Amino acid sequence: MGIQTLNSEPDAKQLLAQLRESIESALPGAEVEARCGNPGHFEICVRSEAFSGEPKVRQHQLVYAAIAHLMSGDFPPVHAVDRLECETP
């Protein structure tokens, strides 16, 4: 078993772009901010009309469903979302 780390800035920028694109694709019109923490750890803030009337748990489920492919497998590039904020415009 090997260890994969995300420690080069271009890789981090590419992964942040993938996170944003995945969420924006699943939630059209969403405004997404994502920041890197420790390797594989991220903070994400999403503002979307899709969250209107939805409980926080469902809002979080929508975001996690959008990025599930980045959190699965033996060495997923996203290990954890340390902070997730979901807001309505």
Cβ partners under 8 Å of residue 42, min gap 6 = 16, 19, 34, 35, 36, 78, 80, 81, 82
pLDDT(65) > 90: yes
- In this structure, the dihedral spanned by the alpha carbons of residues 51, 55, 56 and 60, taken in order and rounded to 10 degrees, is -60
State which fold the 9-87 domain adopts: GMP Synthetase; Chain A, domain 3 (3.30.300)
pTM to 2 decimals? Answer: 0.86
For 31-56, what is each residue's pLDDT tens digit? Answer: 999 999 888 999 999 999 999 999 99
